[in-house]
Structures are given as C-alpha cells and as structure tokens.
Structure 1
Amino acid sequence: MVYSTSSARKARAEIPVFEIVRREPRNSFVWHTHDYPAPCARWNYHPEYELHLITKGGGQYVVGDYFGFFTPGNLVLIGPNVPHGWFSDVTPGEVVQDRNVVLQVSRSWFDGLMTLCPELDVLQDLLSASRYGVEFLGPAVACLGTRLIEIGTMDDAARIPALIDLLLDLARCPRRTLCSAGLNLSLDNMETEKIDLIIRNIIENNVVFYNQAEMAKEVGLSASAFSRQFRRATGDTFVSFMKKLRIGRACQLLMTTDQSVSDISAATGFSNLSNFNRQFLQLRQTTPSRYRRDVRRLMKHEAGSGEIHGEKSAGVHGQHLQ
C-alpha cells in the first residue's frame, strides 16, 4: 500500500512545536498511548528521549531531515530536541485508536542511572545514536514492542527494572540511524529562539507567577506578537500553558507536603480556591483533596506490601501535556 506524503511534507516545512512532557512526581518517566489524529500527534520536539511504537495503521514519519514510511511494529528511539512526527492518511472524521505507544525519559534520569550503576554505561552508544533517530530492525522488534506495551500495565515499582531490561535489549538489537549529522532543532528566527528559552526557563524552575505581559516585555515583543509567537512555538496559548504547569506543581505539593489545599492554590498562582478546584478537576478529572488521598493511599499500600494493588485513580499517573 502506498501512502500520501502531503501531511508529512507540509509539517516538515513548518517550525516544530515545543511539546510539554511533564511526568507525575512519583514517576521516573511518562508512558502513554494516543489516537491519531490527536493534539500531540504533530511535528514537534522536546528535551526528553522518546521511544515510539506504532501499533496500528500506516503512513509516513519524519525524523529531522529523514522521511520514511511506517507500518505496525515501527519502533524508533528519538534523542532530545530532534524534531519528529508520524502522520497517517485518514479520511475526515476517521480516528485510528491507540495508534501509538510512547515512552518519554529525561536526560537527567539516564545520567543519574548510569552514575549510580556504571554497568549501564553499555547504553551510551544507543543514547548517542538517538540524536540521529534510531529505527530498530529484525525479528526481535515484535517482542520488544510487546514489552514496551506491557510496561503500561505494570505497577509503578515494576516499571523501572522492566524499562532497564528493555533498554539493554534495545542496545543489542540491530538498528539503523535515520537523519543526517545529528540534526537537532535549528531555530529559524531569533523571536522563536527567545520564546523557546523562556519556555525552558519556566519549566525547569517551576515558575508559576509570570503573566503574558511580563513575558512579552522580557523578550522585547508586543503583547500580540508574543501571543502569536508563543502559540506557534508550543501549539498552545500562554494562559493554557501556564495553567497546566501550575496544576503540575500543585500535584507535587499535594503529594509531598501537608500544606492545605487553600495554601497550595495560592502558592501555585491561582486567584482563588474555587478557580483552583475547577481548573484541577478539568485537567486531572479529580479534585485536589481526592488526588492527595489517592496518592497517599497508594504510597501506604506500596510501603506495606512492596506492591501497589487494586485500581489506580484518575489523575495520579504521569501525563503527556499539550
């Protein structure tokens, strides 16, 4: 079957959007599935490593300057800040459900892991190659893909050794690199570069009190130009972007401190408690109080038995934010 390349080539001609990948405080990485089309299925980049599996459908994928066709079983490792996207040919209204399985891990997690366990230095060649994009080949790929899927069904503690074992086997798997010369993101203009630096500063430092006027002034843009550039760089409005980061910070405080919900609301930049509760429910499908109760119940079970049994409540797991 031959697939149209128009969606992929159109996307590649545009500046990739900055994808926000925010893990839950108790999780070392983000694992998720998504449909196609979906808000996160775009020409994008992010500072995390990404292991990407296609389970259904076909089309064309783009990694840096590489164009290729994919079918189910396509398994690719993308390095930090390498632009990428997978594009299926669908008719209007058609949805390919659970097309992708995605695992995203920060560079700092790998650095810490290999510092703690020098034996895992055998992963360095694979991680280094990922800056070109790595496609895995051979009969073992089907089994490796199945193991990636199974990580999503495991209890939190079981995921870590499963991921390490998977990475070690991926390092031994036949592979090919995709794009030329380690093509990382090269921004096309200084305004977009300024926005990118602001986004990274906000995320890395958990800044919650900036407003759009302050940001526009900091990068020397008018409010309208800043708004336009920010949406172009992230695919999101500044207000929506900051709301997601504030809720993520609130989740950390709910889990790790005994501060009241009211104090956490104020500490994360919400104007009043009712607005905080409403926004939290919209993004996490649970209330702040219930989130705290559910997380602590899981932690208590884990401490008492070494395992987490039973159903995990909505909003507790690592999420992929757009």
Structure 2
Amino acid sequence: MAHGTHSARKTRVATPVFEIVRREPRSSFVWHTHDYPAPCARWNYHPEYELHLITKGCGHYIVGDYLGFFTPGHLVLIGPDVPHGWFSDMGPDEVVPGRDVVLQVDGSWFQGLMTLCPELDVLHELLAASRHGVEFLGPEVARLGARLAGIGTMDDAARIPAIIDLLLDLSRCPRRTLCGAGLTLSSDDMEMEKIDRIIRRIMENNTIFHRQCDIAREVGLSASAFSRQFHRATGDTFVSFMKKLKIGRACQLLTTTDASVADISATIGFSNLSNFNRQFLQVRRTTPSRYRRDVRRLIRHEGTSEAAEAPGCHA
C-alpha cells in the first residue's frame, strides 16, 4: 500500500469546480455512488453538506488546505463551500468501480429538522465542525460507513430515519477536524469572488511563491482590503495560510516520494533548511523525518489490516 513517486509527479491539483447538486423533487437529499475516475470526481465545492465514504483503493485527498491519505473505510463530513477531492493512486486506464458513496444534504433541511425536533440540537456541534472538514475515527467507522452505503438499498420513507440515526451516531463518534484554516469558497459577492480566484490559483500551483502585496495589486485591492477579505474567506492571515499550505505540500512529498528533506524544502520555496524544519515543527508538532517515518508506518499497518479484512471493506 505504499505510495509510489509516480503519483506525486502525475497528480496536479486542479481548480475547484462549483458543483450543482441536483436532487429529485420528492427527495430531501442526494445519495449516490460512483466509480473513479468519474466526471463528478473532481476537486469541487458546493453549498450542501456532504458525507463521503471511500470503499476501495488508496490515494490522497484534499479538504480545504489539508492534504492527507485515504484507504478503504475513509469517512469524512464536509461542510458547505469547503473545497474537497479524493484522488486515487492508479495506473493509466485503470478504473476503481464503486469507489465513492456520497450523501449530500442542504443545510436548510438540517435546520428545519432541528427546529421541528429540538432533541436533534446535538447535531449543531458536528455540523459546525464540518466547516473545517471532519474525519471519523475508531472501530465504529466501518459499521457507520456500511450503514451509509446501505441507505442506497432502502425505499424513500425508510431513508429519513436511517439518515437521522446515522447522523446521531456520527455525532458521538471520535473525530478530528482537518483544515485548521476553515477554507471555504463562495460566490455571493464581487470581492469574495476575487479572493476565490486567488485561492484557486494558489491551490493549483505545486510550487508556491506568492507575495501578498503582488496579489493584492493584481486583483485591484488595497493591502488592507485584501487582508480583510482573505481572512474572511479562509479564517486565516495570508502569511499563515501560505505557511500551512506549504507545509501541507511538504507532507504530501514526504509521504509520496523518496526525495530528501532538503530537496523538498527547496521545492516548496524554503531557501533555508533550518527555517523549514522549524516551521514544519510549529505546524505539525513533529519533524519532517519523523513525520515521514510515522505516516509510512501507519500506511503499512493499514495496508496489512486492509488485506486481512478485505471482505468487510467491500460490504
């Protein structure tokens, strides 16, 4: 299950696409499953909440400014307008059938549900956390994922209580948030559209060398207006956001390639290795070398567990 260097060379983050989620007139939500690659399997964002399950394969995923790795059973809740995408490690012309199971729900449905049933107010914390992306953890995740997949076999009336029960159990499941910056994209006003374009361009570049003053000038904003609007869009300062994004790129390269720490430091724009090590430690609370060793050990462990439990992964 180790990730080869071809993946790091071949995969390039594309501009996030605004996805129009179309639900049937008599449906409160959208449930679907799809292969990979597929037209809908892109880096995208939309105003609906999305519960996303990976059933097969491994690769890397992006939620906001977070870059990580997935294996079968990976279950994540994405909040409105948070860009996200899952990219499998695979050869040319290869297809992973039924890789994704997706549930997409409009926020107004949740709000109406909690207004009608105050007992469901316990979902508020989970929904708020989803704006930073939530990954579910622990031994219960496999069963929760199987229940999400099973919703597709139910009739319309049975799906509603099944979804509510699933959400309540998810609210009690161990979890972690993914993107500390809370990156979201929105097209609600002209100034935010400028910031959105900037974020998309930054996210699609593998090597990042952007100065705040240059970008502010390019989009016709003053330094103060740019700073204010960027913070509104990302929940972070431009400098802090860029640092976290660079470190995220470093984590990807540390795990997917055998390049030296010094080479990776230079690739992502650090001219000083000591400064890179210091910044990495500040963001990830570990050193680059230890991060590489720990993640690869985890991948090997999950790969072994996956092989032993293969029938359960595809239930």
Report what 1:106 is aligned to.
Answer: 106
Q: Does 1:184 align with 2:189?
A: no
Amino acid at match of 1:134: V
Cα drift, residue 2 of structure 1: 2.5
Shift of 1:24: 0.2
In the alignment, structure 1 residue 155 sits paired with structure 2 residue 144: no
TM-score (norm 2): 0.58
Contact 1:7–1:87 under 8 Å retained in 2:
no
In structure 1, the partner of 2:72 is 72
1:84 maps to 84
- Provide the C-alpha distance between the structure 1 equivalents of 2:54 and 2:146, rounded to a whole number of angstroms: 11
Matched residue, 2:286: none
Kept after mapping to 1: 8 A contact 2:65/2:181: no
For residues 1-322 of structure 1, the aligned pairs below 5 Å read: 1-3=1-3, 4-6=7-9, 10-11=12-13, 14-185=14-185, 193=193
Instruction: Give me the whole-angstrom Cα distance separating, in 1, the residues matched to 2:122 and 2:191.
Output: 40
Distance 1:173 1:53 in 2: 15
Distance 2:8 2:15 in 1: 18
Distance 2:192 2:126 in 1: 31
Partners in 2 of 1:143 and 1:190 — Cα distance? 44
Q: Is the 2:56–2:72 Cα contact (8 Å) retained in structure 1? A: yes
Q: What is the alpha-carbon distance in structure 2 between the residues aligned to residue 59 and residue 176 of structure 1?
A: 19
Counterpart in the other structure of 1:264: none
Question: How far did 1:92 drift?
Answer: 1.6
Instruction: Tell me if the contact between 2:81 and 2:186 (Cα under 8 Å) persists in the aligned partners.
Output: no
Shift of 1:181: 2.7
Shift, 1:119, TM fit: 0.8
Question: Distance between the aligned counterparts of 2:8 and 2:31, measured in 1?
Answer: 28
Gapped runs of 5+ residues in structure 2?
Answer: 197-315
Contact 2:132 2:181 in 1 (8 A): yes
Distance 1:7 1:63, change over 3 A: farther
Residues 7, 139 of structure 1: alpha-carbon distance in 2 compared, 3 angstrom cutoff: farther
Q: 1:26 and 1:94, CA in 2 relative to 1: closer, same or farther beyond 3 A?
A: same
Deviation per residue, 1:169-196 (Å, 9 max, x gap): 0000000000013211278x969939x9
Contact 1:48/1:105 (8 A) holds in 2: yes
User: What is the CA-CA distance between 1:7 and the residue it aligns to?
Assistant: 5.5
CA distance in 1, matches of 2:30, 2:10: 27
Please tell me whether the aligned partners of residues 60 and 70 of structure 1 are also in contact (alpha carbons under 8 angstroms). Answer: yes
Distance 2:38 2:191 in 1: 27
Give 1:37 deviation, angstroms. 0.3
**TM-fit CA distance, 1:23:** 0.4
Give the C-alpha shift of residue 5 in structure 1.
Answer: 3.6
Mapped partners of 1:19, 1:181: distance in 2: 22
SS of equivalent residue, structure 2 residue 162 = helix
CA contact (8 A) 2:48 2:81 kept: yes
Aligned partner of 1:87: which letter?
F
Q: 1:177 to 1:191 in 2, by over 3 A?
A: closer
Tell me, in whole angstroms, the C-alpha distance in 1 between the residues paired with 2:130 and 2:36. 24
> 3-state SS of the aligned residue for 2:38?
coil
User: In 2 relative to 1, CA 7–61 (structure 1 residues): closer, same or farther, beyond 3 Å?
Assistant: farther
Query: Which runs of 5 or more residues in structure 1 are unaligned?
Result: 197-322
- What TM-score do the two structures reach when normalised by structure 1? 0.57
Q: Which amino acid aligns with 1:109?
A: W
> Are residues 6 and 153 of structure 1, via their aligned partners in 2, closer, same or farther at CA, if it must alter by over 3 Å?
farther
Whether contact under 8 Å (2:53, 2:74) holds in the other structure is yes
Whichever residue aligns with residue 136 of structure 1, its letter is F
Q: CA deviation at 1:148?
A: 0.2
Rounded to whole Å, the distance in 2 between the matches of 1:123 and 1:6 is: 41
Runs of 4+ in 1 over 2 A off after TM superposition: 1-8, 189-194
Aligned-residue RMSD, C-alpha: 2.0
Deviation string, structure 1 residues 52-81 (Cα, Å, up to 9, x no partner):
000000000000000000000000000000
